[in-house]
Structure 1
Amino acid sequence: MKKYIVVIAGGGSTFTPGVVKALLSKKNEFKLDELRVFDIDGERQRKISVITKSVVDEMDPGLLFTEHTNPESAFQDADFIFAQIRTGKYAMRELDEKIPLSLGTIGQETCGPGGMAYALRAIKPMVELVDYMEKYSKKDCWMINYSNPASIVAEAMRRLRPNSKVLNICDMPVGMMQKMTDIFKCDYEEIEPEYFGLNHFGWFTSLKVNGVERIDEMKSFIKEHGLFPETNYDLQHKDASWQKTYKNMKYILNLFDDYVPNTYMQYYLLGDLVLNQLNKDYTRANEVMDGREATLFKAIDEYEKTGNYDREAFHVGAHGLFIVDVANSLVNDLNKKYLVIVENNGAIKNLPNDAMIEIPCLITKDGPVSTYKNLEIPTFNKGMIEQQLASEKCLVDAYMENSYDKALKALTLNKTVSSALKAKDILDSLIEANKDFWPELRK
C-alpha cells in the first residue's frame, strides 16, 4: 500500500488533535509515511503538538511526526496539504464580531462585515500556502482547504491561482446531517443529501435515508423544535450561541418551508432577531477562547506536568471526519459523494458559470465531479445567492485592486448591512483594526 506525506497547515489550531485522530482512524485505507504540522506561530504549535504527538503515539506509534515553521521543510515532497489557518487568531476574530455589533450590525465570524474582514486577512496567506505547495510539494499534491470564510477564499483562489489543485470544503452541512441522525434513527453515512448554494449560504432540497425521501419529516421536526432540542447538542456545538442558532431554524422553516436551510441563513433571513440575541460584549469568539481553547491548553499544561490529560479536552468532530473522508476518496478514487465548493460551470444553469457554489460532487482521484448539470433553482433562492455572490466578488475585487470603493460596495451589497452609510462606518472601523493585515484600500 502506498504511503503518503500529509501536512497540516495551521498546526497550532486547537482542531489539530481531532483532525489527526480522524486521519489515523483511516490508517488501514489511507496510510501515512509522515505527518507534518506547519505554523508560523512555533510556540503555539509546539504546545498543541504535545497532545497531537500523544495521539500519534497511541494510534500509529511508528509514524514519523514532525513540526515545522519553515515552509520548505514542511511542504517538501508532500502529497496532501490540509489547510486550516486563522490569520490574526482569536484576537482579530473578536474584533470581527464586536466592531459591527458596536455599530448596530450583526457581528459574525464568516458572515457579513466580520466575514469580509476575515477574508481580507486570509487571502494573502492562502495564496502563499498554494505557492509553497506548488514550489516544494509533489506535482500531484492536493490542498484541501478548510480555512474560512471558505466561499470568499474559494473565489480568490479561482482568480489568483486558477490552475492549482485546491479543493475548498466546509463541515457545516455535515455537522447538520450528523445531528439529523438522531431524528432519522440512522447512521450519518446512510443520509444522502441534495443541496445547493454558496458556502454558509445554501439549502438542503432532499434528505434520503437508505434511498427513502425523508426531508418532510425533518422539516416538521425543525418547525416545532429547531435543530435540535436542548438535550441533543454535541461537544463542538454545545455553547449558548449555537443553541440559539439551532432554535432559530424553526423560525425560518415556519416562514419558508420549501427547503431546509443552512443554519447560517439565520444571519440573512432573521437579521433583527439575531442582532437582538447577540451580546456585543461577549461574542462567539469569547465563548471559544473561554471554552475549547482554554480547555485544551489546560490539558496540555497537565500533560506536560504529569504525563496525563483529560481525553475530553478535544474531540473528533465534523471538521476532522469530513476532511479525512474527502482526502480518502481522492487517494483511493472512491467516487464518494460529498458537498464541496466548486466552480459552477453549468451545474446550476441560472447562476453564473464562474460562481463558486457548494453542491454534491463525486470525489475522484482527479478531483471533484459535479452531480448536477443544468439544475434550475427558484427565483427567491437565485436572487438571494446573486446578491451574496455580488458582495463576495466585489470584496475580491477590492483585494486585487486595493479599492476602497469596491470594499464599500461589497459591504453595502451584503444583506446583513442596513445601508451604505452604515457600511462606510463599519468599513472605516475595520480598516483601522486591520491595518497590520489588510492590503491598503485606496479611495
Structure 2
Amino acid sequence: MKLAVLGGGGVRSPFLAKYIANKAEKLKIDSVIFMDDNSDKIRIYGGIAKKAASIINPKLKFEITTDVKETLKDADFIITSLRVGGDESRVTDERTALKYGIVGQETTGAGGFAMALRSINALIKYCSMAKEYSKPDVKIFNFTNPSGLVTQALRSLGFDNVYGICDGPYGFLKELASYLNINLDDISVECFGLNHLSWFRSIKIKGQEKINEIIEDDRIYEKTEMHLFEKKLVRSLNMIPNAYLYYYYYREKAVDNILKSQYTRGETIREINKNMYRELSTLNPEKDFEKMLGIFLKYYSQREKSYMNIESGSNKPHIEKEITWQDFFDMQGGEGYAGIALGFIDAIVNDSKKEMILSVPNNGMIEGLKDDDVVEITCSVDKNGANPVYIGEVPEIQMSLIRQVKLYERLAVEAIIEKNKEKAVQALMIHPLVNSYSIASNLIEEYLNEYIDFVGAWR
C-alpha cells in the first residue's frame, strides 16, 4: 500500500517519517512518498525524514519529490500538511489582525480566515488531482490549517473521503496520562464541538468516569495545558476546554500579552526556522545525517517549548527538556497528528476498532447543527470508516459559541469558493473574535490585497 504526504518538506516531517517507518509493516504500507513544492525544504527536511526512515525500516520504499502527480499516483492514503504562503504569510496574518486589536492566531478568527484563503484553494486542487490519479477508495487525512474549516470546504464540494485530523485534543490527554502514570489507551473520552473549539464532557479511565475528579484536582492546572484556565471557569463549564478556547475565554488577555511581547508566535517560529535553515542548508542528509538531526532537534525543541507562551503570558515550557538523538529514536507515543492518521489506517487495514477524535460531518450526532456541518467529535473507527458518537443536546453556553463559529465557517467557505467579498465580511463580522462590521471590512480588504496572487480578484 502507498502513503503519500503533501507538505512533506515541513518541519514536522522527520517525526512523521519516524512513526510511519515504525508502523509500516503492521499497516501493510510498503511505499511512502513525501512531496513539497519547495525544493530546498524537501531536500533538507524531507531528506532528514528519508534517512531516518531508512535507519528505522530499511525495507520501506521511501521517496521525496516535488512532483505532485507522481506523489498522488495510485496512493491508498494521503496526509496533507501544507503551509501555503509559508512563515511570512503567517506573520502578515497576525500583524494585520493586531492592528485592529484582534487575535491573529492561524486557526481562529481573522488569522484563521486569512490562512483559509490560501489553504482551501490549494487543497481543492490537490483533492481533485487525487480523484484522478489516486486509488478510487483513497482516504485523505487533512492536517492543513485551519483544519476544520478546510475540511468543511472540501466536504461541501463532495470530497467525502476527507477527514480532518488535529493533535490538539490529544495534547491534553497525553499530559493527563503522563500525570496519572497510565497508558493513553486507558483513557476513553466524549469530545464534541468544532476544531480548536471543543470540550471533553466525559473522561473515563479504565471504564470509570473521572471528569469531576480531574476538574477538582489542583495539580491538573499545574501539570497540563489546563494551566491556561482558571479552575473556577472550568468548574462553571463542568467540562474540560480545548486549549484554543483560551483565545475566546481570555480574549483581551491574549491580545494584551501578544502586544506586550517583542514577537508574535509567527515571528518566533519564523526566527527559529530561519536559524535552523541557515545551519542545515549547507549540509547533506546522506553524509551529515547525525549532525543535521542534532541541529533539527535543537530548534524543534525550541519551537515546542515556546508553544502558547506569548499568548498566555506564561513562562511554563510546553516541554521540559530538549529532545535528544536518543529520544528521537527511542521515545514511544507522542505521535501527534501522525498517530491519528496512522491509527485510522490501522483501523481500516487491520479492522482494529479504535476510538478517535476527528473532524467529520455531524449527521445528527450533535443536536441543533446541520447534518453536513463538520464537527470535531469522538468517533468509533473500523474497516468501514469513522462513525461519530451520539452527543445529543449540548448546554447552551457551549452551543451558542458553536453555532456562532459554525455560521462563520459556512459563510467563510461560501465566500472563498465563490470569491464573494460581501460574504467574507459577513463571516468575519459575526465571528466572536472580531464582532465588528468595520473591522471585518478593513481586514478583508487588506487580506485580499495581500494575497491576490493566491486567490485572484474578488467581486
1:7–1:74 contact (8 Å) kept in structure 2: yes
2:7–2:82 contact (8 Å) kept in structure 1: yes
Distance 1:294 1:206, change over 3 A: farther
Name which structure has the greater RCO, CA cutoff 8 Å, separation 6+.
Answer: 1
Partners of 1:132 and 1:297 in 2: CA distance: 34
Q: Does 1:324 align with 2:305?
A: no
2:347–2:354 contact (8 Å) kept in structure 1: yes
Q: Secondary structure at the match of 2:53?
A: helix
Q: Secondary structure at the match of 2:246?
A: helix
**Contiguous gaps of at least 5 residues in structure 2:** 301-327, 329-333
Q: Secondary structure at the match of 2:230?
A: helix
2:51–2:289 contact (8 Å) kept in structure 1: no
The CA RMSD measured in Å over matched residues stands at: 2.2
Q: Secondary structure at the match of 1:256?
A: helix
Counterpart of 1:369, as a letter, is N
Q: Secondary structure at the match of 1:110?
A: coil
Instruction: Indicate the residue corresponding to 2:236 in structure 1.
Output: 256
**Contiguous gaps of at least 5 residues in structure 1:** 233-244
Distance 1:57 1:227, change over 3 A: farther
Q: Does 1:47 align with 2:44?
A: yes
Instruction: Indicate the residue corresponding to 2:101 in structure 1.
Output: 104
Aligned runs of 1:107-146 on 2, under 5 Å?
A: 107-146=104-143
Q: CA deviation at 1:59?
A: 0.8
Aligned runs of 1:297-316 on 2, under 5 Å?
A: 298=279, 301=282, 304=285, 306-309=288-291, 310-311=293-294, 312-313=297-298
Instruction: Indicate the residue corresponding to 1:277 in structure 2.
Output: 257
Distance 1:163 1:419, change over 3 A: closer
2:97–2:110 contact (8 Å) kept in structure 1: yes
Counterpart of 1:351, as a letter, is L
> Alignment identity in percent?
28
Instruction: Indicate the residue corresponding to 1:427 in structure 2.
Output: 444
Partners of 1:428 and 1:202 in 2: CA distance: 30
Partners of 2:232 and 2:99 in 1: CA distance: 26
1:401 pairs with 405, 418, 428, which one?
418
Q: Secondary structure at the match of 1:65?
A: strand
Distance 1:180 1:188, change over 3 A: same
Partners of 1:439 and 1:410 in 2: CA distance: 19
Partners of 2:419 and 2:346 in 1: CA distance: 39
* Number of residue equivalences: 421
1:100–1:107 contact (8 Å) kept in structure 2: yes
Partners of 2:191 and 2:130 in 1: CA distance: 31
Q: Normalised by the size of structure 2, how large is the TM-score?
A: 0.86
Instruction: Indicate the residue corresponding to 1:367 in structure 2.
Output: 385
1:388 pairs with 381, 400, 405, which one?
405
Q: Secondary structure at the match of 2:182?
A: coil
Instruction: Indicate the residue corresponding to 2:170 in structure 1.
Output: 174
1:76–1:137 contact (8 Å) kept in structure 2: yes
Counterpart of 1:354, as a letter, is D
Q: Secondary structure at the match of 2:454?
A: coil
Distance 1:259 1:422, change over 3 A: same
Q: CA deviation at 1:52?
A: 0.9
Deviates more, 1:212-221 or 1:143-152: 212-221
Q: Secondary structure at the match of 2:101?
A: coil
Q: Secondary structure at the match of 2:189?
A: strand
Q: CA deviation at 1:219?
A: 1.3
Partners of 1:226 and 1:184 in 2: CA distance: 10
| CA deviation string 1:41-69 (max 9, x = no partner) | 12211111221121121011122222222
